Amino acid sequence: RVLILDFGSQVTQLIARRVRETGVYCEIHPFSVSAEAIAAYAPKAVILSGSPASVTDENAPSAPQAVFDLGVPVLGICYGQQTMCQQLGGNVSGSDHREFGRAFIEITSSCALFDGLWAVGSREQVWMSHGDRVTAIPPGFRVVAVSDGAPFAAIADDDRRLYGVQFHPEVVHTPHGAQLLANFVHGVAGLKGDWTMAAFKQQAIAKIRAQVGSGKVICGLSGGVDSSVAAVLIHEAIGDQLTCIFVDTGLMRAGEADEVVTLFRDHYNIPLIHRNASDLFLGKLAGVTDPEQKRKIIGGLFIDVFDEESHKIGGAEFLAQGTLYPDVIESVSFTGGPSVTIKSHHNVGGLPDRMKLKLVEPLRELFKDEVRALGRELGLPQSFIGRHPFPGPGLAIRIPGEITPEKLDILRKADTVYLEEIRNAGLYDAIWQAFAVLLPVRTVGVMGDGRTYDHVLALRAVTSTDGMTADWYHFPHEFLARVSNRIVNEVRGVNRVVYDITSKPPGTIEWE
Ligand code: XMP
């Protein structure tokens, strides 16, 4: 396995994704990780990430010496290359020839990183993002590629198997970057690509059995991919020692609650408690208009209801959660300052403390796309695995202002039409999230000979890779025309449709 030391780069997770795509397991740890922890992890290769920091700063972060003493291959990327040079006797300085974005390197010497990829003398496109640069390489190193802004664009010490690149092979803008990383893990480090989802599944099942023994596990199902995959995996491991609890908030989309019940109870035969709590949720939400207040009420009620149902089961020792790797990685930040709360996302956070249960988190090591692959391995239908994300507070945050059963009904109908058209047009998988928002605004319209005074419906569709940033989706105009027409004709209560063309930032994906 590979150890990735994070120095706070925005794209460290991409390094991990690329390494795992080669079939080799890796973990991200902060650069400040202890020598003991490194020894315990026993990596077969180490990658040092980039960083917003500058090696020339007084308190610049550096790699633990242990990394260079292990005798395993090390690859430094950008800042990782610079700190490696600095620490091993080379030199780095600020440069007025900064390189940001697309750049070209010239391969000046053969190197194991370039095997089967780049020939000596060729010019290759890469992605750079650096102000500082290496100005002298440590003893034992040689230069293998240069660029206009970086005379040491790639360096190698073949004996010690230490390598450094000034560019970022992990981003897609370095077209052959993924293969360069594969050369490092397979070629240089000699690691086999045997970390597959089939192998992961077997290991995970063994781990769950070892942790749980004959204990009882409860799992909250939300209808989303993560909790579903976790539940099916755990059920494969321990069968009916698992009970799932599905709290139906009455805030899901049309038909969704039934789908969850059918899939888990009837198809997988997983013991499932379906608690229809919509009256409770809608009652407590009556008259509430503030988005944060809505989230608090929903989050709090969810915990109450879940707690109540789990007590009815009795004797549960473990709580299963679909926690993913990005939630687990200890983040390294040099920007400082507390971050502002934009939205207080409710998931099942808060449950474990209150319930005094031990956590079973079989997906802790996986990225989202790996969870999907595992879901496929477990036989979950593609329609389920490929679903767009859906927020915990559900349709409540897609009805700005007060939530009423009538508004929910209108929104469900309109949302169904919208998603149906997206699927028919074959666009569903190209979109990260698409949904309708029912606005608390009425406008005048004319239908037939009559005047109407009905709600405005906003359509939203975005592309994104992680939900952190997003771009609005450019639908063909005919598509928008068709959806608008269908909704106004078919959904009573809506007489006007608008399309949201705001990216994130400055907008957020949801309207509340
Ligand atoms: P925003 O609206 O913050 O959304 O740009 C980013 C992603 O998070 C989802 N989202 C939520 N998920 N509880 C959730 O579980 C919430 O309160 C919540 N608010 C937003 C949103 O759907 C998008 O995928």
pLDDT at position 345 is 63
Please tell me the residue having the least CA distance from ligand 1 atom 16: 345
Tokens for 204, please give them: 């995970």
Low-confidence ranges of the chain (pLDDT < 50): 346, 348
Please tell me the residue having the least CA distance from ligand 1 atom 9: 391
pLDDT at position 314 is 86
Which sign, positive or negative, has the C-alpha torsion 59, 64, 67, 68? Answer: positive
pLDDT tens figures, 420-446: 999 999 999 999 999 999 999 999 999
HSE-CB for 373 with a 13 A CA cutoff: 15
CA distances, 348 to each of 222, 303, 369 (Å): 10, 7, 21
Ligand 1 within 6 A of CB of 391: yes
Distance CA 150, CA 133 (A): 6
Tokens for 501, please give them: 């063309």
pLDDT tens figures, 42-94: 999 999 999 999 999 989 999 999 999 999 999 999 999 999 999 999 999 98
Ligand 1 within 6 A of CB of 398: no
Residue 290 Cα to ligand 1 middle (Å): 16
CB atoms within 10 A of CB 354: 11
Cis peptide before 506 (omega within 30 of 0): yes
Distance CA 479, CA 291 (A): 31
Distance CA 25, CA 332 (A): 21
Residue 469 Cα to ligand 1 middle (Å): 12
CB atoms within 10 A of CB 194: 9
Tokens for 497, please give them: 């449709």
Closest ligand 1 atom to Cα of 390: 22
Residue 93 Cα to ligand 1 middle (Å): 42
Q: Which phi and psi (to 5°) does residue 425 adopt?
A: -85, 0
Please tell me the residue having the least CA distance from ligand 1 atom 7: 467
User: Model-level pTM?
Assistant: 0.87
pLDDT at position 332 is 84
User: Which domains does the chain carry?
Assistant: 2-188 (3.40.50.880), 197-333+343-385 (3.40.50.620), 404-499 (3.30.300.10)
Helices (H), 152-290: 177-182, 197-212, 225-238, 256-261, 278-285
Nearest Cα to 351, choosing from 197, 220, 200?
220
Specify whether the CB–CB gap between 9 and 52 falls below 8 A. yes
Closest ligand 1 atom to Cα of 508: 5
pLDDT tens figures, 328-364: 888 787 765 555 677 776 454 556 666 789 999 999 9
Tokens for 352, please give them: 């474990």
pLDDT at position 466 is 81
Backbone dihedral region of 39: left (phi > 0), alpha (psi from -120 to 50 degrees) or beta?
alpha
pLDDT at position 68 is 97
Which of 509, 511, 512 has the most ligand 1 atoms within 8 A of CB, as the residue to mutate?
A: 509
Nearest Cα to 410, choosing from 486, 483, 512, 494?
494
Residue 148 Cα to ligand 1 middle (Å): 43
HSE-CB for 445 with a 13 A CA cutoff: 18
Ligand 1 within 6 A of CB of 392: yes
Ligand 1 within 6 A of CB of 509: yes
ipTM exceeding 0.85? Answer: yes
Distance CA 50, CA 60 (A): 13
Tokens for 113, please give them: 């990183």
Ligand 1 within 6 A of CB of 433: yes
Question: Could you give the residue numbers annotated as active site?
Answer: 78, 168, 170
Binding-site residue set for ATP:
222-228
Ligand 1 within 6 A of CB of 295: yes
Backbone dihedral region of 74: left (phi > 0), alpha (psi from -120 to 50 degrees) or beta?
beta
Residue 391 Cα to ligand 1 middle (Å): 5
Which of 343, 399, 500 has the most ligand 1 atoms within 8 A of CB, as the residue to mutate?
A: 343
